[in-house]
Structure 1
Amino acid sequence: MFFYKKRNVNGFLLIDKPKGISSNNTLQQIKTIFRAKKAGYVGTLDPLATGILPICFGESTKFSDYLNNSDKEYYVIAKLGESTSTFDSDGVIIKKRIISFKSIQLDNALKKFTGVINQVPSMYSAIKHNGIPLYRYARQGITLSRQIRYITIYKLELIKFQGDFIEFNIHCSKGTYIRTLIHDLGEYLGCGAHVVSLRRTQVGIFTSSKLVTISYLNTFLNKENIKKLICFKELDSLLMPIDTPVNFLPKIYISKSQSCNFKLGQKIILKSNIKNSLVRVLEKEKKIFLGLGKINTEDVLNPYRLVSIFTN
């Protein structure tokens, strides 16, 4: 039937990923709800994890990399005294140890794992080797050498430590594996540890305040709404603008005549106080986002990454 046809959807949405499904499974459900031709997510969350999963639709996918490079924040609960094969509670317990560290040792551990540190990602990760995710090798009992990664832990804040469980707020750079961080912390403390609950609470400047759930989106899909196509209008009204992933960049407005040249990939003479920076370029009259431009030291705006459609 006509309402099952895929649509050109453009915009940005923050989904509260539910526990127990993969990030890709979440994406496929969202694409089905919106009947979207093209969409992608930013920053993989493990099936065990919940929280912010940014979804870019259509033209917004062109700018997802900029958000992927952003810092992230997490709330994590870990269990001490047990190490698992996957570094989280979805894995098999491979070692049990007594919890015997003192508070001063915990304080030292938190200091050691704050700042620039190195990590060797778990075999149960989405990093690819020869085009195949590591977790697929791991499931076959294959262990491969992994490169050391250097990441930054800006904040490792202890919230609560009671019995076998310990809770943290973590602010970290891109590329950080929280499961690996908790595993390494447990090894340093001599008792082992694994993640039992993980929630991403911030990506770049985006917090949980604008999160929507899959169940909420599904409420728009009653038969009457689908028949009248009302649901798609209502769903699309939830989307943020195409340039939301790059809204940390300064805006530059150009005239309608300049925008015609810019859309053709031509340089624009433009006097600006901004130098050596990417900028969001909008048409002044209609406030239409045209794409990203780059201003170097000279007063020239160079097209950098353009959108193929031009909407508000």
Structure 2
Amino acid sequence: MGRRRKPWMRDVNGILLLDKPEGLSSNHALQRVRRLYSAAKAGHTGSLDPLATGMLPVCFGPCTKLSHYLLDADKQYTVGMRWGARTATGDAEGDVVEENAVRPDADTVARTAQDFVGEIGQVPPMYSAVHHQGRRLYEIAREGGEVERPSRVVTIYALQVGVQEGDILPLEVRCSKGTYVRTLVEDLARACGALAHVAWLRRDAVGPFAASAMHAMADVEAAAEQGAAALDALLLPPSAALTDWPAVTLDAARAFYLSRGEAVRVAAAPSRGRVAIYGPGNALLALGEIDADGMVAPRRMMQLPA
């Protein structure tokens, strides 16, 4: 049987770009926001550690169908790299396991950072949600265990070094999905002959979403006091998640055939690649691609209202 809907729940459709506060897990932030919206269905796209702050896209209702695509999106972070110690977790919450007094100069760090731009291999940290033989790595780590982890290929698009303040060096990172910033900080420090861990971490952007579109938890709570209309005014439409996808708009007849899984011909469609497919009223019908015959073919039906 499906989960019974509670009387206070309502249908919500859209995307909230929450500025997650420090000290709150992503799931706790999600549940708090869901209660404020009285939403029947909600999910977040990409966890942030409790230590981290910044962009946590929360998808409501039908928009949860877009979660997978946002999980796969590129990310942008600013991070404080604290010299002098490596910790068990790679961040300020873990116990110090190794220390040294090496403090590389700014030129050395900036020069070394460029070696990490492009495709690199990363070994996931033990304190991560990666599965190993049916268990999360962090569960094994909390028991004092450690297992061998295969390296994964990720892409660092940009790595900029900021101005040192005390023992903390700020970095700006633009990277692909699956990148562990804690591991990047440790590996960069090691390449400089030093030790470091994450002092603070902020996610500034996810995919097409900019930092300026985020809302603090306090803003959401204030809107909740004003009612559902004020809350819904904070939401972005489904199309906001797909601004980097070429768009194809169908008339009613073509939308009908496409909704049955059939490819359709559209005169103004791109010649190849993936497309977001819209119908009458700007409803998001499907995500698709241009097939070998130049037809617009659905690959994932959405049927999301505008």
Q: 2:245 aligns with which of 218, 238, 249?
A: 249
Superposed counterparts of 1:291-302, under 5 Å? 291-302=286-297
Residues 201/100 of structure 1: CA separation in 2 closer, same or farther (3 Å cut): closer
Residues 156/145 of structure 1: CA separation in 2 closer, same or farther (3 Å cut): same
Q: SS of the counterpart of 2:127?
A: coil
- Structure 1 stretches of 4+ moved >4 Å: none
Q: SS of the counterpart of 1:170?
A: strand
Q: Unpaired runs of 5+ in structure 2?
A: none
Distance 1:178 1:130 in 2: 24
* 155-164 vs 263-272, greater mean Cα deviation: 263-272
Superposed counterparts of 1:100-139, under 5 Å? 100-103=103-106, 105-139=108-142
Distance 1:181 1:95 in 2: 17
**What TM-score do the two structures reach when normalised by structure 1?**
0.89
Give a deviation string over 1:184-215, Cα, whole Å, max 9, x none: 12222233101111111111221111101122
Q: Unpaired runs of 5+ in structure 1?
A: 226-230
2:300 equivalent in structure 1: 305
Give, as a single letter, the amino acid of the residue that structure 2 aligns with 1:191. A
CA shift, 1:75, in A, is 0.9
Q: 1:70 aligns with which of 70, 73, 84?
A: 73
Residues 36/100 of structure 1: CA separation in 2 closer, same or farther (3 Å cut): closer
Q: SS of the counterpart of 2:164?
A: strand
Q: Percent identity?
A: 35
**What TM-score do the two structures reach when normalised by structure 2?**
0.91
* 182-191 vs 263-272, greater mean Cα deviation: 263-272
Q: SS of the counterpart of 1:8?
A: coil
Superposed counterparts of 1:202-217, under 5 Å? 202-217=205-220
* 104-113 vs 46-55, greater mean Cα deviation: 104-113
Give a deviation string over 1:3-61, Cα, whole Å, max 9, x none: 96222221111110110111111111111111222222122211111111111112212
Q: Does residue 3 of structure 2 align to residue 8 of structure 1?
A: no
Distance 1:234 1:113 in 2: 44
1:228 equivalent in structure 2: none
Give a deviation string over 1:233-285, Cα, whole Å, max 9, x none: 2212221112322221111121112222222323323334412322222224x
Distance 1:103 1:266 in 2: 58
Distance 1:27 1:159 in 2: 32
CA contact (8 A) 2:37 2:224 kept: no
Give, as a single letter, the amino acid of the residue that structure 1 aligns with 2:255. S
1:218 equivalent in structure 2: 221
